[in-house]
Amino acid sequence: MSTPIVDSHVHLFPASHLPTLAWYRPGNPIGAQHSVDEYRNASSSVSTDASANDPKYLRGFIFVEVDRISSVAEHDPPGWTHALDEVSLLARIARGEPIPGEGHQPAHQSLCLGIVTWAPVPGGPEVLSAYMDKVKQRTKTEAVWRRVCGVRYLTQNRPAGTMLAPAFVDGLRWLGTKGLVFELGVNARLGGLGQLREAVEMMQRAYSGVAKDSKEAVTIIINHLSKPNLRLPPQSVPNHPDYLEWKDLTEQMAHAHPRTYMKLSGALTELPPLDAESEIDIPALVERLRPWTDAVFDAFGAERVMFGSDWPVCNTGGSGDVAWNRWRHIVEGILERRGLPEEQKKGIWGGVAVEAYGIQL
């Protein structure tokens, strides 16, 4: 039986939306249309047909917000307009109702398994509630609203202390009561390990007094291994202070609550750039990543680690259009090197994401 892949981290945007993206500048390597058509071209090495008798097939993806130009307060320019327009785009994908030029087809609607929207988490429960009411309106149908499974407020480029503000922590607790995941985006390499220290303290506050088996505990899914410094010389990693602290903080995040998860994603942009035109040494890359991936599996267990491509951001590691398939092969090597049984491998490829996001296949 084929293993279904649930790609837990995909970004999508048509060319017409580029001016609304906070990171967009002319010449940006991914500053062009990246919609479902382009995503399927990048991931075409796997079928979407479960009956194709291939070892794996792409069941679908979780869309994660693309960092639109937005403000926490609705009426402070630019407000929520761009983020809500992104919700409308995803709703059209999920309903199979494309607008010409958006880059998706009616047949793609079954691939959109979950939607993680931007949300003004620092505004606290009242602001979050008002925003999510507008998200529900934009989805238009109950079937699409049910695919909204979480939110992200990207903290990797925010001032220190953002995650520790009482309203932010209260916002996380509110998300838990609504069954919405919080997607945690931090960057240990570019933003410093202080971001991870702050994330650990944020989790401690969010989970304080919350029972381990509470159904209202917020699920926190950490993006991209927390973007560690994978450019350290491999021979120095085991005893390097940056690695040792990242490992300790990773363990603390894993132990904060059973509802914390880690994405096996994002490494291609943190490694030294690869050449898209040359063959790559998969076993060598698996070995280079081993101290980091072993630490993640040791801390979280295979039951709380999930596959994600981070497409199209993964393309910026030098691999271009071949990045998605390269990362898939690297992950296959990581799981083999770890010696995981087939059932745990299947979980990492899809089952863990289904459980964490509470989505239906």
> How confident is the model at residue 277, as a pLDDT?
87
User: For position 72, which CATH number holds?
Assistant: 3.20.20.140
Res 360: pLDDT: 86
Helix (H) or strand (E) holding 57: strand 56-64
Task: Output the pLDDT for position 54.
Answer: 86
- Judged against a pLDDT cut of 80, whether residue 38 lies above it is answered with yes
Give pLDDT tens digits for 96-145.
999 999 999 999 999 999 999 999 999 999 999 999 999 999 999 999 99
Say whether pLDDT at 52 is over 90: no
Tell whether the model's pLDDT for residue 1 goes beyond 80.
Answer: no
Mean of the per-residue pLDDT values of the chain? 97
* Integer Cα distance of 270 and 51 in angstroms: 36
Residue 79 structural domain? 3-357
- What number of CA atoms fall less than 13 Å from residue 190's CA on the CB side? 11
Angstrom distance (rounded) from CA 207 to CA 191: 24
Structure confidence at residue 318 (pLDDT): 82
The DSSP element (H or E) to which 142 belongs, if any, is helix 142-145
How many C-beta atoms surround the C-beta of residue 322 within 10 A?
Answer: 17
> How many domains, in total, are found in the chain?
1
For residue range 9-25, list pLDDT tens digits in order: 999 999 999 999 999 99
